[in-house]
Amino acid sequence: MLFIIIKTIHLFAAFIYGGFLITDNLFLSKIKRSFSEEEHQKIRESFMMYVRKVVPPSLIVAVVTGLYLISQVFGTIGPDGMTHFQMMLSLKAFLGIWLGLRGGLQVYFKIQPFVFKSHRLPFAFVLTIIFLSQFMHIA
Protein backbone atom coordinates (compact mmCIF):
# COMPACT_ATOMS: atom_id res chain seq x y z
CA MET A 1 0.00 0.00 0.00
CA LEU A 2 2.85 2.40 0.86
CA PHE A 3 4.42 1.72 -2.55
CA ILE A 4 1.20 2.69 -4.36
CA ILE A 5 0.83 5.89 -2.32
CA ILE A 6 4.42 6.94 -2.99
CA LYS A 7 4.09 6.04 -6.68
CA THR A 8 0.95 8.21 -6.92
CA ILE A 9 2.74 11.12 -5.24
CA HIS A 10 5.68 10.59 -7.59
CA LEU A 11 3.46 10.66 -10.67
CA PHE A 12 1.68 13.86 -9.58
CA ALA A 13 4.98 15.59 -8.83
CA ALA A 14 6.47 14.45 -12.15
CA PHE A 15 3.36 15.66 -14.01
CA ILE A 16 3.69 19.10 -12.44
CA TYR A 17 7.37 19.39 -13.40
CA GLY A 18 6.87 17.90 -16.87
CA GLY A 19 3.79 20.04 -17.46
CA PHE A 20 5.80 23.17 -16.71
CA LEU A 21 8.51 22.14 -19.19
CA ILE A 22 5.93 21.37 -21.86
CA THR A 23 4.21 24.72 -21.31
CA ASP A 24 7.48 26.63 -21.30
CA ASN A 25 8.96 24.96 -24.38
CA LEU A 26 5.88 24.63 -26.54
CA PHE A 27 3.82 27.69 -25.61
CA LEU A 28 5.61 30.40 -23.64
CA SER A 29 8.51 30.48 -26.06
CA LYS A 30 6.05 31.26 -28.88
CA ILE A 31 4.53 34.27 -27.10
CA LYS A 32 7.41 36.41 -28.35
CA ARG A 33 5.85 36.30 -31.81
CA SER A 34 2.59 37.90 -30.70
CA PHE A 35 3.76 40.48 -28.17
CA SER A 36 6.42 43.11 -27.82
CA GLU A 37 9.53 42.25 -25.82
CA GLU A 38 8.27 44.28 -22.86
CA GLU A 39 4.85 42.60 -22.91
CA HIS A 40 6.48 39.19 -23.30
CA GLN A 41 8.62 39.82 -20.21
CA LYS A 42 5.56 40.83 -18.17
CA ILE A 43 3.62 37.74 -19.28
CA ARG A 44 6.53 35.41 -18.60
CA GLU A 45 7.26 36.94 -15.19
CA SER A 46 3.59 36.69 -14.23
CA PHE A 47 3.62 33.00 -15.13
CA MET A 48 6.96 32.34 -13.45
CA MET A 49 5.80 33.99 -10.23
CA TYR A 50 3.44 31.04 -9.68
CA VAL A 51 5.78 28.45 -11.18
CA ARG A 52 8.53 29.24 -8.66
CA LYS A 53 6.20 28.35 -5.80
CA VAL A 54 5.09 24.96 -7.12
CA VAL A 55 7.54 23.46 -9.61
CA PRO A 56 10.83 23.30 -7.61
CA PRO A 57 9.27 21.50 -4.62
CA SER A 58 7.48 19.17 -7.05
CA LEU A 59 10.78 18.33 -8.73
CA ILE A 60 12.42 17.52 -5.40
CA VAL A 61 9.42 15.36 -4.39
CA ALA A 62 9.60 13.55 -7.76
CA VAL A 63 13.31 12.79 -7.31
CA VAL A 64 13.03 11.65 -3.68
CA THR A 65 9.99 9.46 -4.31
CA GLY A 66 11.64 8.13 -7.49
CA LEU A 67 14.68 7.06 -5.49
CA TYR A 68 12.43 5.22 -3.05
CA LEU A 69 10.58 3.49 -5.89
CA ILE A 70 13.84 2.42 -7.53
CA SER A 71 15.03 0.93 -4.26
CA GLN A 72 11.89 -1.19 -4.21
CA VAL A 73 11.91 -2.53 -7.78
CA PHE A 74 15.55 -2.59 -8.97
CA GLY A 75 16.32 -6.06 -7.66
CA THR A 76 19.70 -7.75 -7.52
CA ILE A 77 22.20 -7.75 -10.34
CA GLY A 78 22.68 -11.30 -11.57
CA PRO A 79 25.93 -12.95 -12.63
CA ASP A 80 25.21 -12.01 -16.26
CA GLY A 81 24.98 -8.32 -15.35
CA MET A 82 22.01 -6.01 -15.31
CA THR A 83 18.79 -6.88 -17.09
CA HIS A 84 17.37 -4.56 -19.75
CA PHE A 85 14.85 -3.37 -17.16
CA GLN A 86 17.63 -2.50 -14.71
CA MET A 87 19.62 -0.68 -17.41
CA MET A 88 16.64 1.42 -18.46
CA LEU A 89 15.74 2.09 -14.84
CA SER A 90 19.33 3.18 -14.17
CA LEU A 91 19.23 5.58 -17.12
CA LYS A 92 15.90 6.93 -15.87
CA ALA A 93 17.39 7.41 -12.41
CA PHE A 94 20.46 9.18 -13.80
CA LEU A 95 18.34 11.61 -15.81
CA GLY A 96 16.00 12.22 -12.87
CA ILE A 97 18.84 12.83 -10.44
CA TRP A 98 20.49 15.17 -12.95
CA LEU A 99 17.24 17.14 -13.26
CA GLY A 100 16.84 17.24 -9.48
CA LEU A 101 20.40 18.42 -8.88
CA ARG A 102 20.20 21.04 -11.61
CA GLY A 103 16.85 22.33 -10.38
CA GLY A 104 17.79 22.24 -6.70
CA LEU A 105 21.11 24.00 -7.23
CA GLN A 106 19.51 26.61 -9.45
CA VAL A 107 16.47 27.39 -7.31
CA TYR A 108 17.60 26.83 -3.74
CA PHE A 109 21.31 27.67 -3.97
CA LYS A 110 21.10 30.25 -6.81
CA ILE A 111 23.81 28.42 -8.79
CA GLN A 112 23.03 29.01 -12.45
CA PRO A 113 24.03 26.31 -14.94
CA PHE A 114 27.11 27.06 -17.01
CA VAL A 115 25.70 25.33 -20.09
CA PHE A 116 22.20 24.33 -21.15
CA LYS A 117 20.61 27.42 -19.60
CA SER A 118 17.31 26.99 -21.42
CA HIS A 119 14.67 24.41 -20.56
CA ARG A 120 15.20 22.45 -23.78
CA LEU A 121 17.58 19.85 -22.34
CA PRO A 122 15.44 19.21 -19.22
CA PHE A 123 12.44 18.91 -21.57
CA ALA A 124 14.32 16.32 -23.65
CA PHE A 125 15.28 14.45 -20.47
CA VAL A 126 11.66 14.39 -19.29
CA LEU A 127 10.51 13.06 -22.66
CA THR A 128 13.24 10.40 -22.50
CA ILE A 129 12.14 9.42 -18.99
CA ILE A 130 8.53 9.13 -20.17
CA PHE A 131 9.48 6.88 -23.10
CA LEU A 132 11.75 4.75 -20.90
CA SER A 133 8.88 4.36 -18.44
CA GLN A 134 6.68 3.02 -21.18
CA PHE A 135 9.19 0.60 -22.71
CA MET A 136 11.27 -0.66 -19.79
CA HIS A 137 8.69 -3.26 -18.76
CA ILE A 138 8.60 -4.89 -22.19
CA ALA A 139 12.37 -4.99 -22.78
Q: What pLDDT, on a 0 to 100 scale, did the predictor assign at position 139?
A: 61
Radius of gyration of the chain (CA): 17
Q: What is the pTM of this model?
A: 0.86
Below-70 pLDDT ranges, the chain: 114-116, 139
SS3 labels along 67-112: HHHHHHHCCCCECCECCHHHHHHHHHHHHHHHHHHHHHHHHHCCCC
Q: What pLDDT, on a 0 to 100 scale, did the predictor assign at position 94?
A: 97
